[in-house]
Amino acid sequence: MIKQVISAVSVAAFLTLAGGADLMAQQKANPCAAKNPCAAKNPCATKNPCAAKHPCAAGGKVDPKLITRPAGTKLVAAKPAEMIKEGERLWKDTKLSTNGLSCNTCHQGNAAFNPTFAKPYPHAVAMVGEKAGLKQIQLDEMIQICMLVPMASKPLPWDSRELAALTAYTGEVQKKFKPGAAGANPCAAKNPCAAKNPCAPKK
Ligand code: HEC
């Protein structure tokens, strides 16, 4: 009687083991079955600034006065190297916006810029024409419209160190910008899932 119980237990144990081995074999065959690297938490879903509502598309018009540097106003002058360094920090600072974005969220690796960014300022920019009806814009003013529209915030004070620093740093970014390198879609460039989804059905 005791013997029978033991053998029943060991058979059950054996079956469980065998089942487990089967499962393991299956998982080996299908690299996606076990843990789909995309399913659980899609790295694109949460911080895709464009998915939910594109912050640039939303909203109405911008009062051109808010982004036009008042006559006679000058940006804060300081050592260029210092300003560039400060600007680089602000460029990545999500506290400048009210929607959790930083300049870098959209513009990392020169994403979201159109070829107009390669031209010396002032020049025409599509967003500026659409939103504010202005035919051309200066670099510091461009920063102000990005503060207002995609960053959903307020323009920086014209005489602030922040605006001068961001302008200095963005000038450095512009020097390295080549049109066509990244394209106009701020999400296309760095969506790690778009190009090669390891789980997508093979065609
Ligand atoms: C939600 C995305 C987003 C964020 C955040 C954002 N921008 Fe932009 N930015 C854009 C888009 C889209 C364009 C292209 C506009 C166009 O060409 O019509 C652009 C264009 C620009 C340009 C180039 C315009 C040109 O062609 O001369 C500059 C400079 C710029 N942004 C600076 C900034 C700065 C500085 C910040 C942070 C304060 C910032 N942007 C934040 C989306 C964003």
Nearest to 88 by CA among 182, 161, 172, 157: 172
Please report whether residue 195 resides in a domain.
Answer: no
Question: DSSP strand E in the chain: where?
Answer: none
- Residue 156: count other Cβ atoms within 10 Å of its Cβ: 20
Please report whether residue 183 resides in a domain.
Answer: no
**What pLDDT digit, counting tens, does each position of 48-64 carry?**
554 445 556 656 899 99
| Mean pLDDT on 90-108 | 97
**What pLDDT digit, counting tens, does each position of 18-47 carry?**
444 444 444 455 544 445 444 445 444 445
Instruction: Find where tokens 């014209």 sit.
Output: 158
Residue 144 CB less than 6 A away from ligand 1: no
Q: Taking the complete model, does pTM exceed 0.85, yes or no?
A: no
Residue 146 CB less than 6 A away from ligand 1: yes
Across the chain, what does the average pLDDT equal? 76
Please report whether residue 143 resides in a domain.
Answer: yes
Kindly give, in sequence order, each residue whose CB lies less than 8 Å from that of residue 68, ignoring residues fewer than 6 positions away: 134, 141
Please report whether residue 49 resides in a domain.
Answer: no
Q: Give the residue numbers spanning the domain of 124.
A: 55-176
Pocket test for ligand 1, best of 84, 105, 106 (most atoms within 8 A of CB): 106
| SS3 call for 100 | coil
Please report whether residue 107 resides in a domain.
Answer: yes
Please report whether residue 142 resides in a domain.
Answer: yes
Cα–Cα distance between 191 and 199 in angstroms, integer?
A: 16
Please report whether residue 156 resides in a domain.
Answer: yes
CATH value at residue 74: 1.10.760.10
